[in-house]
A = this chain, B = another copy of it.
């Protein structure tokens, strides 16, 4: 795909300054620009780059005033960053495969797959599954029995959705993610191996959710594991059985949430955080990377630490922690002084 400055300006309702036939086929940061790339300038910090960039076209704010000659063709728009984001969205959308069913694929005769969808080769769609309009089921994806995949949802290569799970609309599920594997439940048996507790619930993923590559969301023992609307889970995140992750909550890579824990809305978790089972995390909680959460957390708390506590308290603790040998030395010194004072007195 190649676009001229004129085509882009028309689409954005902007005006061209320079060569209206300048062509681009990709985008780049202004400081890393090259022939054929489109860039933008919004943050004044980057202004010097507009005089040196090799990008062919640069989007600038309407009020931008060049103080030196500019080689690139400029397109003036009211909001250069917003316009760039709009073009990126279009570009990303255009990357998705066009609708159609590649062969060989396996679609059960009892599955309902909307005719306007993409189904890649080696994808498997089991009995009773429903796939809504404009869903993109990439190659090698597995859609279990009675799974629902909502409108416009994109499931990347090799993701696996177990039987009975529900995926909402406009979701993105990345390669290797596994939705609906068994919760980890075993009952001890006198003098024998553990006995598996059947996991007969499912996973409900609401609309606008993103699930990262190789992430896992386990099915409920009974009932449902819930990933609420707008949640974003990064790669390798693990959500155990019967967990609920509240609306718009964001978890960075490699976080793990143990069974039956509930997490509120609008929370943010750094990477590698772990949360114990049966824990309640309030709305709006922020938690630093690598923290361990082993008890309920009040709404709007900001916490951190191996045994997570209030972040400002933990920071002061860490400062002392890093000087523990000095603290121990001072204590020993005091002991010697006090012992001397005491012996003098006697």
A interface residues with partner B (beta carbon < 8 Å): 26-29, 32, 85, 88-89, 91-92, 95, 102, 104, 106, 120-122, 124, 138-140, 142, 144, 156-158, 160, 162-163, 172, 174-176, 178, 181-182, 184, 186-187, 193-194, 196-200, 208, 210, 212-214, 216, 218, 222-223, 229-230, 232, 234-236, 238, 240, 247-248, 250, 252-254, 256, 258, 270-272, 274, 276, 289-290, 292, 294, 305-307, 309, 313, 316-325, 327-328, 330-331, 334-335, 337-338, 341-342, 344-345
Contact = CB atoms under 8 A, between A and B. Distances in A.
Contacts of A104: 104
Contacts of A121: 106, 124
Closest CB pairs A-B (n = 10): A193-B230, A92-B198, A181-B213, A320-B324, A142-B157, A178-B213, A160-B175, A88-B198, A106-B121, A124-B139
9 contacts: A95-B163, A124-B140, A140-B142, A140-B160, A175-B178, A307-B321, A330-B335, A334-B338, A338-B338
Given A194-B248, A198-B91, A330-B331, A184 B253 contact: yes
Given A27-B222, A91-B200, 20 more contacts: A28-B222, A28-B223, A88-B197, A88-B198, A89-B198, A140-B158, A158-B178, A178-B235, A181-B213, A181-B235, A186-B232, A214-B214, A252-B258, A253-B258, A258-B271, A272-B272, A290-B292, A327-B327, A334-B334, A341-B341
Contacts of A157: 124, 142, 144, 160
Nearest to A120: B124
B238 A236 contact: yes
B272 A256 contact: yes
B196 A172 contact: yes
Most buried by B among A160, A182, A316: A160
A136 B335 CA distance: 69
Contact of A341 (B139, B271, B342): B342
A253 B240 contact: yes
A96 to B, nearest CB: 10
Given A256-B272, A321-B321, A232 B194 contact: yes
A158 B214 CA distance: 12
A238 B254 contact: yes
Contacts of A247: 193
B181 A156 contact: yes
Contacts of A335: 330, 334
Contacts of A212: 181, 184, 216
Contact of A331 (B176, B256, B294, B331): B331
Contact of A122 (B106, B162, B309, B344): B106
